[in-house]
Amino acid sequence: MMSISTLDKNFMSIFQDRRATKQYDAAAEISREELVELLALAGQAPSAWNLQHWHFNVFHNKESQERLLPIAYNQQQIVDASAVVAILGDLHANENVDPVFDPAVEAGSLSEEIKVALNGQIQGAYENEQFARDAAFTNASLAAMQLMLAAKSKGWDTCPIGGFNATKFAEEFEVSDRYVPIMLITIGKASTEARPSGRLDIDKVVTFV
Protein backbone atom coordinates (compact mmCIF):
# COMPACT_ATOMS: atom_id res chain seq x y z
CA MET A 1 0.00 0.00 0.00
CA MET A 2 1.29 3.45 -0.91
CA SER A 3 2.19 5.52 2.14
CA ILE A 4 0.68 8.93 2.81
CA SER A 5 4.10 10.56 2.41
CA THR A 6 4.49 8.95 -1.03
CA LEU A 7 1.03 10.13 -2.01
CA ASP A 8 1.94 13.64 -0.89
CA LYS A 9 5.16 13.51 -2.89
CA ASN A 10 3.39 12.30 -6.04
CA PHE A 11 0.67 14.91 -5.65
CA MET A 12 3.17 17.74 -5.20
CA SER A 13 5.25 16.59 -8.17
CA ILE A 14 2.25 17.13 -10.45
CA PHE A 15 2.18 20.80 -9.43
CA GLN A 16 5.94 21.20 -9.68
CA ASP A 17 6.37 19.35 -12.98
CA ARG A 18 3.47 20.93 -14.87
CA ARG A 19 4.79 23.48 -17.34
CA ALA A 20 3.33 25.32 -20.31
CA THR A 21 4.39 23.10 -23.20
CA LYS A 22 4.48 24.73 -26.62
CA GLN A 23 6.30 22.10 -28.68
CA TYR A 24 4.57 18.75 -29.18
CA ASP A 25 5.21 15.42 -30.83
CA ALA A 26 2.76 15.66 -33.73
CA ALA A 27 2.67 11.87 -34.04
CA ALA A 28 1.50 11.29 -30.46
CA GLU A 29 -2.16 10.28 -30.18
CA ILE A 30 -4.60 10.41 -27.29
CA SER A 31 -7.74 8.31 -27.35
CA ARG A 32 -11.23 9.74 -27.06
CA GLU A 33 -11.73 7.56 -23.98
CA GLU A 34 -8.76 9.13 -22.21
CA LEU A 35 -9.88 12.62 -23.19
CA VAL A 36 -13.32 11.93 -21.74
CA GLU A 37 -11.68 10.64 -18.56
CA LEU A 38 -9.62 13.83 -18.24
CA LEU A 39 -12.65 16.03 -18.90
CA ALA A 40 -14.67 14.14 -16.32
CA LEU A 41 -11.93 14.87 -13.78
CA ALA A 42 -11.95 18.52 -14.83
CA GLY A 43 -15.69 18.53 -14.26
CA GLN A 44 -15.09 17.64 -10.61
CA ALA A 45 -13.79 21.17 -10.04
CA PRO A 46 -15.62 23.31 -7.49
CA SER A 47 -18.13 25.90 -8.67
CA ALA A 48 -20.44 28.45 -7.11
CA TRP A 49 -23.67 26.75 -6.00
CA ASN A 50 -22.29 23.68 -7.83
CA LEU A 51 -23.73 25.11 -11.06
CA GLN A 52 -20.71 23.87 -13.07
CA HIS A 53 -20.30 26.95 -15.25
CA TRP A 54 -18.33 25.30 -18.06
CA HIS A 55 -18.57 23.62 -21.42
CA PHE A 56 -15.74 21.95 -23.32
CA ASN A 57 -15.31 22.09 -27.10
CA VAL A 58 -12.83 19.35 -28.05
CA PHE A 59 -10.67 19.42 -31.18
CA HIS A 60 -9.45 15.87 -31.62
CA ASN A 61 -8.54 15.58 -35.27
CA LYS A 62 -6.18 17.44 -37.56
CA GLU A 63 -8.99 18.81 -39.73
CA SER A 64 -10.71 20.63 -36.86
CA GLN A 65 -7.36 21.70 -35.44
CA GLU A 66 -6.44 23.21 -38.81
CA ARG A 67 -9.71 25.19 -38.73
CA LEU A 68 -8.76 26.43 -35.29
CA LEU A 69 -5.19 27.35 -36.27
CA PRO A 70 -5.78 30.82 -37.83
CA ILE A 71 -8.21 31.73 -35.03
CA ALA A 72 -5.36 31.01 -32.59
CA TYR A 73 -3.03 33.26 -34.60
CA ASN A 74 -1.28 30.34 -36.29
CA GLN A 75 0.39 28.97 -33.18
CA GLN A 76 1.92 25.69 -34.34
CA GLN A 77 1.07 23.88 -31.11
CA ILE A 78 -2.60 23.97 -32.12
CA VAL A 79 -2.02 21.41 -34.87
CA ASP A 80 0.91 19.53 -33.33
CA ALA A 81 -0.90 18.79 -30.07
CA SER A 82 -2.81 15.53 -29.75
CA ALA A 83 -5.96 17.50 -28.93
CA VAL A 84 -7.10 20.99 -28.04
CA VAL A 85 -9.84 21.75 -25.53
CA ALA A 86 -11.64 25.08 -25.64
CA ILE A 87 -12.88 26.14 -22.22
CA LEU A 88 -16.21 27.94 -22.45
CA GLY A 89 -17.89 29.75 -19.58
CA ASP A 90 -21.62 29.39 -19.07
CA LEU A 91 -23.36 32.78 -18.87
CA HIS A 92 -26.68 31.07 -18.08
CA ALA A 93 -25.47 28.68 -15.39
CA ASN A 94 -28.55 29.65 -13.40
CA GLU A 95 -30.47 27.38 -15.78
CA ASN A 96 -28.62 24.41 -14.28
CA VAL A 97 -30.54 24.59 -11.00
CA ASP A 98 -32.96 21.73 -11.70
CA PRO A 99 -30.47 19.23 -13.19
CA VAL A 100 -27.98 19.98 -10.40
CA PHE A 101 -30.32 20.06 -7.40
CA ASP A 102 -33.17 17.73 -8.32
CA PRO A 103 -31.15 14.51 -7.90
CA ALA A 104 -30.17 15.65 -4.39
CA VAL A 105 -33.80 16.44 -3.56
CA GLU A 106 -34.90 13.04 -4.86
CA ALA A 107 -32.16 11.32 -2.84
CA GLY A 108 -33.29 13.11 0.30
CA SER A 109 -29.98 14.90 0.86
CA LEU A 110 -31.48 18.31 0.06
CA SER A 111 -34.94 19.52 1.00
CA GLU A 112 -37.25 21.13 -1.52
CA GLU A 113 -37.41 24.19 0.75
CA ILE A 114 -33.65 24.66 0.65
CA LYS A 115 -33.62 24.18 -3.12
CA VAL A 116 -36.26 26.91 -3.48
CA ALA A 117 -34.21 29.24 -1.25
CA LEU A 118 -31.02 28.57 -3.20
CA ASN A 119 -32.81 29.07 -6.48
CA GLY A 120 -34.00 32.46 -5.25
CA GLN A 121 -30.42 33.47 -4.45
CA ILE A 122 -29.16 32.25 -7.79
CA GLN A 123 -31.81 33.86 -9.97
CA GLY A 124 -31.41 37.13 -8.09
CA ALA A 125 -27.65 37.11 -8.65
CA TYR A 126 -28.06 36.36 -12.36
CA GLU A 127 -30.16 39.45 -12.91
CA ASN A 128 -26.77 41.19 -12.97
CA GLU A 129 -25.07 40.51 -16.33
CA GLN A 130 -21.64 41.43 -14.99
CA PHE A 131 -22.03 38.89 -12.19
CA ALA A 132 -22.95 36.20 -14.72
CA ARG A 133 -19.88 36.99 -16.83
CA ASP A 134 -17.53 37.12 -13.86
CA ALA A 135 -18.92 33.82 -12.56
CA ALA A 136 -18.47 32.19 -15.96
CA PHE A 137 -14.80 33.17 -16.13
CA THR A 138 -14.00 32.37 -12.50
CA ASN A 139 -15.64 28.97 -12.32
CA ALA A 140 -14.67 27.73 -15.79
CA SER A 141 -11.07 28.67 -15.01
CA LEU A 142 -11.16 26.33 -12.02
CA ALA A 143 -12.13 23.50 -14.37
CA ALA A 144 -9.36 24.52 -16.77
CA MET A 145 -6.71 24.29 -14.08
CA GLN A 146 -8.07 20.95 -12.92
CA LEU A 147 -7.90 19.66 -16.51
CA MET A 148 -4.22 20.56 -16.77
CA LEU A 149 -3.38 18.90 -13.46
CA ALA A 150 -5.38 15.80 -14.37
CA ALA A 151 -3.55 15.61 -17.69
CA LYS A 152 -0.16 15.90 -16.01
CA SER A 153 -1.10 13.14 -13.58
CA LYS A 154 -1.72 10.89 -16.60
CA GLY A 155 1.57 11.79 -18.29
CA TRP A 156 0.27 14.41 -20.73
CA ASP A 157 1.61 17.91 -21.22
CA THR A 158 -0.56 20.99 -21.64
CA CYS A 159 -0.51 24.70 -22.35
CA PRO A 160 -3.23 27.26 -21.60
CA ILE A 161 -3.70 29.73 -24.45
CA GLY A 162 -5.39 33.08 -24.07
CA GLY A 163 -4.10 34.33 -27.43
CA PHE A 164 -6.97 33.60 -29.78
CA ASN A 165 -9.83 35.52 -31.38
CA ALA A 166 -12.83 34.68 -29.22
CA THR A 167 -15.30 36.38 -31.56
CA LYS A 168 -14.09 34.46 -34.61
CA PHE A 169 -14.00 31.28 -32.55
CA ALA A 170 -17.67 31.66 -31.67
CA GLU A 171 -18.56 32.39 -35.29
CA GLU A 172 -16.53 29.58 -36.86
CA PHE A 173 -17.71 26.90 -34.46
CA GLU A 174 -21.26 28.23 -34.01
CA VAL A 175 -20.98 28.69 -30.26
CA SER A 176 -24.26 29.58 -28.57
CA ASP A 177 -24.59 33.04 -27.01
CA ARG A 178 -24.98 31.16 -23.75
CA TYR A 179 -21.22 30.53 -23.68
CA VAL A 180 -18.17 32.78 -23.69
CA PRO A 181 -14.83 31.37 -24.97
CA ILE A 182 -12.25 31.75 -22.20
CA MET A 183 -9.13 29.83 -23.18
CA LEU A 184 -7.72 27.00 -25.25
CA ILE A 185 -5.72 24.16 -23.71
CA THR A 186 -3.42 22.04 -25.85
CA ILE A 187 -2.83 18.45 -24.72
CA GLY A 188 -0.09 16.18 -25.99
CA LYS A 189 3.41 14.84 -25.51
CA ALA A 190 6.24 17.33 -25.37
CA SER A 191 8.79 17.02 -28.17
CA THR A 192 11.13 19.35 -26.29
CA GLU A 193 11.22 19.78 -22.55
CA ALA A 194 9.32 22.92 -21.62
CA ARG A 195 11.41 25.77 -20.31
CA PRO A 196 11.01 26.20 -16.56
CA SER A 197 9.62 29.60 -15.68
CA GLY A 198 10.57 31.61 -12.65
CA ARG A 199 8.13 32.66 -10.00
CA LEU A 200 7.99 35.78 -7.85
CA ASP A 201 9.13 35.25 -4.31
CA ILE A 202 6.14 34.18 -2.26
CA ASP A 203 6.69 37.14 0.07
CA LYS A 204 5.95 39.46 -2.88
CA VAL A 205 2.48 38.03 -3.47
CA VAL A 206 1.27 37.28 0.04
CA THR A 207 -0.14 39.66 2.62
CA PHE A 208 -1.26 38.28 5.96
CA VAL A 209 -4.18 40.38 7.21
The dotted CATH code for 19-192 is 3.40.109.10
Burial class of residue 195 in the structure, from the number of CB atoms within 10 Å of its CB (0-12 exposed, 13-18 middle, 19+ buried): exposed
DSSP conformational letter for 195: P
Model's pTM, two decimal places?
Answer: 0.93
What is the structure's pLDDT at 16? 87
Chain segment 149-171, per-residue pLDDT in tens = 999 999 999 999 999 999 999 99
Alpha-carbon gap, residue 42 to 123, rounded angstroms: 26
Helices (H), the chain: 4-17, 32-42, 62-68, 77-80, 97-107, 112-125, 129-153, 166-172, 202-205
The pLDDT score that the predictor gives to residue 8 is 63
- The mean per-residue pLDDT over the stretch 28-36 comes to 98
3-state helix, strand, coil in the chain (%, to 5): 50, 15, 35
Please report, for the chain, the start and end positions of each structural domain, with discontinuous segments joined by +: 19-192
- Residue 87, pLDDT score: 98
Task: Find, among 198, 197, 189, 199, the residue nearest to 22 by Cα.
Answer: 189
Q: Which residue has the higher pLDDT, 176 or 197?
A: 176
Q: Is the pLDDT of residue 15 over 90?
A: no
pLDDT tens track for 46-104? 999 999 999 999 999 999 999 999 999 999 999 999 999 999 999 999 999 999 999 99
